[in-house]
Structure 1
Amino acid sequence: MTISRLSIPRRSFLSGSVALAAASALTVPAWARGGSLRHAVKGPPELSGEDINLTIDRAHFSTGGRSGHAVAINGSVPGPLVRLREGQDVRLHVTNNLDEDSSIHWHGLLVPFQFDGVPGVSFPGIRPGETFTYEFPIRQSGTYWWHSHSGLQEQAGHYGPLVIEAADGSDAQYDRDYVVLLSEFTPLHPHEVMRKLKVGEHYFNRQMQTATNGEMSGEMRREWAKMRMNPRDISDVTGSTYTFLMNGHGPADDLEYLFKPGERVRLRFINGSAMTFFNVRIPGVEMKVIQVDGQDVRDVAVDEFQIATAETYDVVVEPKAGAHTIVAEAMDRSGMGVATLTDTPGRKGLVPPLREPVTLTMADMGMAGMDEMEGMDHSMRDMSKLPPDAEPAGVDMVSPMPVDRMDFPGLGLDKVDHRVLRYTDLRAKKPNPRRKPTRRMEIHLTGNMERYMWSFDGKRFTAVTDDPIRFAYDERVRVTLVNDTMMAHPIHLHGHFFELVNGAGATDQPLKHTMVVQPGGKATFDLTANEPGDWAFHCHLLYHMHAGMMQVVTVRPFPA
């Protein structure tokens, strides 16, 4: 998506030869136009090499009739594709031209902690007018991304894709290789979005159930009201203010990905949004999942998958002749991002209508199997499960009967009539070392929706900076996350990959850096704490993190 300091509607410069000529003079990354990484259309190349320069500036962004404040990197939103190769060394020189501090976090990369890019945790941040150089070796391959970890800049456009080529040349086996970066845009300033959420957490929800809604009994409706909760409370920020984007393009921008019949096409899906879970499908086309969070997995054939904020999924498709619509429907079904996978420029596929809104269930309240509502109000506020120093004002719910929900495909996808990916489908492609955990840890995900407060174990980040989660270097720990809230949370650990405890054998557990913990449920991972330093650990829903759902993980001592 091109940005400038003037408001230029996408439709006005993407149609007509004069408009296209004007667009070519602007900084439009080739990858964002749908161009293959090896068959790029016209436009400046992605950034690669051992020295890469990035600049952060204020700008203006427009799409689909919405226009507003933006933060651009090298003159574009999203920022440029950074393309590296496994085994190289890289120096990334980042210049901050904003009037406030900024930063870049290299999401999913294994780097020395002082180059991880989290102000106040691993470095002081990049002050206005200054340049900071990140320098580290590339120890991995796969699909990743980068974004600001300063304030709410990520929501304003401070993010971009990152692809690392495998040293063994395995990436060359595909005929086409495309980045599909999912995100969203709102004309509201991010701090105004946060203010509205603090004033009323349902501000952006246009799908609230009413007193006359026939899906729920009167008694159950009264119980939900007593808890000050709504069964349609799926997403905090919705399509009422968001335009959902693919590579910075709104649905009206007609983004295309070209192919020839018979080709194998790799699609690198990255969820670079601030707050949106997407349900991804290509109607009529089977997707074969080959990589998750940059790590190889055994092939899994699916028709749809849910991708949480900060996750990446690489899929391979072999589309038949014609035009096929890539659909990224917001989890709450308030809107979608769309693009076309086509063998003929300009040929479009059918765009399916939005599906029915999702309604939460008893299982999403941590009450799986409970048919009676009586006594629920008391049990959901039992604080005995939380640490004694938890902030009672910041917790309005404790799940009474949380169960492992690793087999749950995601809100709204448990009753569809086609194949949907589940965490329990994933197996590591290469075996992991067999090593049993020597310690267990349980962490509760907590919040108060009415006050819009989010936390771990009832303690917001500002209250726990002197009390990090501690791991001994190379310690093997089994961590269980218990979601005491009615919202799904993508939890991200910086600097490490962990193994999902998903029913696979000990050596087959898949590696991830971000894991969704379903509402009212539990999820478990095994961590080998072999990256020394101080690391952020947080919910990757931007406004949840900003409101307190963040901690610091410290790994000590440093090896000799």
Structure 2
Amino acid sequence: MTILDRRAFLGATAALGGGSALAPLFPAWARTGTPGLRAPMATLSGAEIALSIGHTMFETGGKTGHAVTVNGTLPAPVIRLKEGQTVKLAVTNTLDEDSSIHWHGLLLPFQMDGVPGISFPGIKPGQTFKYEFPVRQAGTYWYHSHSGMQEPMGMFGAIVIDPAGPDPVAYDREHVIVLSDWSFTHPHTIYRKLKSQGGYYNRQKQTLGGLLQGKDQPLKDRVMWGGMLMDPTDISDVTGSTYHYLINGHGTGENWTGLFTPGERVRLRIINASAMTNFNVRLPGLPMTVVAADGLDVQPVETDEFQIGIAETYDVIVQPGDARAYGLIAEAIDRSGLCRATLAPQLGMAAAIPALRERPLLTMKDMGMGDMGAMDMSGGDMAGMDHSAMGGDMAGMDHGSMKMRDPSVAPQVKMGPGVATLSPMPADRTGDRPTGLEKVDHRVLTYRDLKSLAPNPDKRTPSREIDVHLTANMERYMWSFDGVKFSDKAEPLAFRHNERVRVNLINDTMMPHPIHLHGHFFEVVTGNPGHHPMKHTVNVLPGGKVSFDLTADALGDWAFHCHMLLHMHAGMFRVVTVRHEEEGA
């Protein structure tokens, strides 16, 4: 195991004018800096790596709380590997409860995937589990616990895998950026409060003052939403009212700083390791060129802002031309809070902290009502709607409560108290600007902007197609696939080995859901045939539909779930099983 202690050389680089004097002495990924409360993220590499899971006290925002960490740091150390090597990771659990590590996005034997009860038994207290697998890919990934509520308590870290051959992305310097949300309230307590009141943490509800100032929806629209037992401000379950938003374990006031020399091409490997927060990411005054998504190279595309769903990764290139501080802004999609880090030519500089932008409101489109989402609802009530625009009738709507629950829309969905709505007109929203960025006056990345750099490897037409509905009763905080919670003995999704299947994810809820499939990459169908982006996690917008083509080439049992931790915990989880045809899959 090789450990590179960046603290030692950061002191030297600071003494020599911010690091540029020593820059040639260190690899690009090592040249960074942070004047915060804690040491920079350590980096582990080599053929054998030792990790220890334990309890640590963590400080941010002037307060200290209890964390579950790897090797005593939050985030955990960066693991740096090389494509083509074999790695052995000895993980010791010093907790008094079972634990695990899942290697998010890595292609490996399912027994090494790290999901207790599916791919292995978990790691008992006081025991060491030895993961061993060949490294089959390059790119930006991450790792985290798949046990209980350990992940939101701090058990996550970055994985960077260097390519075996030349890197198609040219850059002079690199920074790993781990986004996260942190609360001093225990996640079990957060979950219990949400079960008692779905909007418990929403402090941005519409008010009389907002109505009088013209900032909120007109009263008639509010009555309509109220009749459906829905809230157009219900965008994030857990908000800045309880979360501290962090970049590399630093809050805004702690000002994590990444160094650059003007004119350099700087690669930012951005990972959303949050439990419950999708972030909108921007660097005001500095365009970003997206060069990789979920670890795999894409054709470079320039943008000014992008939304990163929980568990997604994006690599971007920026080229600061001026010797000044630039703000790296990660703003929660509901605009209840943000985190500012700084890119600067020397330590001690701090970029401006922007004001939070106006919080967004959901629309009819977010309810899966198709083009009605473009309607101006400020003109009155539902009386003026063209009902034929909804497919010929209003059969799917209960006019007493305005709740859409027509079982014929999705016959495979098990109807019951856990399914409040079914979207009557779910739309492909891969070309839509994501939640909260619909009206900003600059470029915003969409999935349709992403094209894989290499041609898609499997050119076969899918042999079959399946629908998977993302279902919920948000008011009662019940989450599921097809109306069935995992704990209700949900049947696995079965695939034959190497078969090609189109999976349609249909979001019947009014929140985006980052859906992750273990052990595989899939092609997100975006209208770029032959160069669809290959991803392991896809964010499905409210009332939207995302299709992906899957080649089921990894034998075994694999987790498939929403990566909003509390949604997964509540039941939005399923097992995908891949078997040879003679085994009955």
Using structure 1 for the length normalisation, give the TM-score. 0.91
Q: 1:389 to 1:363 in 2, by over 3 A?
A: closer
Q: 1:558 to 1:144 in 2, by over 3 A?
A: farther
**Is 2:30 the partner of 1:38?**
yes
* Pairing 1:149-298 to 2, within 5 Å after superposition: 149-170=146-167, 173-211=170-208, 213=211, 214=214, 215-298=216-299
1:478 and 1:527 in contact (8 A); partners too = yes
Q: 1:98 to 1:221 in 2, by over 3 A?
A: same
* Pairing 1:441-480 to 2, within 5 Å after superposition: 441-465=466-490, 467-480=491-504
* Pairing 1:515-526 to 2, within 5 Å after superposition: 515-526=538-549
Residues of 2 paired with 1:47 and 1:226: CA distance? Answer: 55
Q: CA deviation at 1:368?
A: 2.4
Residues of 2 paired with 1:174 and 1:559: CA distance? Answer: 49
User: Residue in 2 aligned with 1:133?
Assistant: 130
Sequence identity of aligned pairs in percent? 56
Q: CA deviation at 1:191?
A: 0.5
* Pairing 1:86-165 to 2, within 5 Å after superposition: 86-165=83-162
Q: CA deviation at 1:381?
A: 1.8
- SS at 2:370 equivalent: coil
2:144 and 2:156 in contact (8 A); partners too = yes
Look up the equivalent residue of 2:370 and give its one-letter code: A
Residues of 2 paired with 1:109 and 1:54: CA distance? Answer: 18
The equivalent position to 1:380 in structure 2, one of 394, 401, 404, is 404
2:336 and 2:356 in contact (8 A); partners too = yes
Look up the equivalent residue of 2:222 and give its one-letter code: R
Q: CA deviation at 1:216?
A: 2.0
Q: CA deviation at 1:65?
A: 2.6
User: Residue in 1 aligned with 2:4?
Assistant: none
- Per-residue CA deviation, residues 291-325 of structure 1 (Å, 9 max, x unaligned), is 00000000000000000100000000101211111
1:533 and 1:558 in contact (8 A); partners too = no
Residues of 2 paired with 1:200 and 1:349: CA distance? Answer: 38
2:341 and 2:351 in contact (8 A); partners too = no
Residues of 1 paired with 2:42 and 2:233: CA distance? Answer: 43
- Per-residue CA deviation, residues 449-490 of structure 1 (Å, 9 max, x unaligned), is 12111000000011134x100010000001111100000000
1:440 and 1:477 in contact (8 A); partners too = yes
- SS at 1:536 equivalent: strand
User: Residue in 2 aligned with 1:415?
Assistant: 439
Q: CA deviation at 1:393?
A: 1.2
The equivalent position to 2:332 in structure 1, one of 330, 333, 344, is 330
- Per-residue CA deviation, residues 199-252 of structure 1 (Å, 9 max, x unaligned), is 111111110113562432332211211221110001000000101000000111
- SS at 1:458 equivalent: coil
Structure 2 residue runs of 5 or longer lacking an equivalent are 1-10, 15-26, 34-38, 376-380, 384-393
User: Residue in 1 aligned with 2:533?
Assistant: 510
2:169 and 2:291 in contact (8 A); partners too = no
Look up the equivalent residue of 1:516 and give its one-letter code: N
1:66 and 1:186 in contact (8 A); partners too = no
Residues of 2 paired with 1:354 and 1:150: CA distance? Answer: 34
Q: CA deviation at 1:349?
A: 2.2
Aligned structure 1 segments of 4 or more residues deviating by more than 6 angstroms: none
Residues of 2 paired with 1:255 and 1:436: CA distance? Answer: 47
Q: CA deviation at 1:254?
A: 1.6
Q: CA deviation at 1:172?
A: 8.1
- Per-residue CA deviation, residues 392-445 of structure 1 (Å, 9 max, x unaligned), is 111111111111101112111111111110000011101113211111111100
Look up the equivalent residue of 2:346 and give its one-letter code: T
2:517 and 2:560 in contact (8 A); partners too = yes
Residues of 2 paired with 1:491 and 1:172: CA distance? Answer: 27
1:532 and 1:558 in contact (8 A); partners too = no
User: Residue in 1 aligned with 2:6?
Assistant: none
2:32 and 2:258 in contact (8 A); partners too = no
Q: 1:444 to 1:512 in 2, by over 3 A?
A: same
- SS at 2:576 equivalent: strand
- Per-residue CA deviation, residues 242-297 of structure 1 (Å, 9 max, x unaligned), is 01000000111021111111111000000000000100000010100000000000
1:386 and 1:458 in contact (8 A); partners too = no
2:179 and 2:247 in contact (8 A); partners too = yes
Q: CA deviation at 1:387?
A: 4.3
Residues of 1 paired with 2:143 and 2:254: CA distance? Answer: 24
Look up the equivalent residue of 1:530 and give its one-letter code: D
> Number of residue pairs matched?
526
Residues of 1 paired with 2:340 and 2:28: CA distance? Answer: 18
1:483 and 1:518 in contact (8 A); partners too = yes
Q: 1:240 to 1:389 in 2, by over 3 A?
A: closer
Look up the equivalent residue of 2:520 and give its one-letter code: H
- SS at 2:77 equivalent: coil
User: Residue in 2 aligned with 1:360?
Assistant: 362
1:165 and 1:171 in contact (8 A); partners too = no
User: Residue in 2 aligned with 1:23?
Assistant: none
Larger displacement relative to structure 2 (347-356 or 313-322): 347-356
- SS at 2:431 equivalent: coil
Look up the equivalent residue of 1:518 and give its one-letter code: L
Residues of 2 paired with 1:37 and 1:102: CA distance? Answer: 30
User: Residue in 2 aligned with 1:6?
Assistant: none
Q: CA deviation at 1:346?
A: 1.6
Look up the equivalent residue of 2:355 and give its one-letter code: P
Larger displacement relative to structure 2 (44-53 or 110-119): 44-53
Using structure 2 for the length normalisation, give the TM-score. 0.87
User: Residue in 2 aligned with 1:7?
Assistant: none
Q: 1:130 to 1:207 in 2, by over 3 A?
A: same
- SS at 2:472 equivalent: strand
- SS at 1:47 equivalent: strand
The equivalent position to 2:552 in structure 1, one of 523, 529, 534, is 529
Larger displacement relative to structure 2 (40-49 or 217-226): 40-49
The equivalent position to 2:75 in structure 1, one of 75, 78, 81, is 78
2:558 and 2:575 in contact (8 A); partners too = yes
Larger displacement relative to structure 2 (430-439 or 290-299): 430-439
Q: CA deviation at 1:61?
A: 1.3
Residues of 1 paired with 2:505 and 2:489: CA distance? Answer: 18
Residues of 2 paired with 1:254 and 1:277: CA distance? Answer: 21
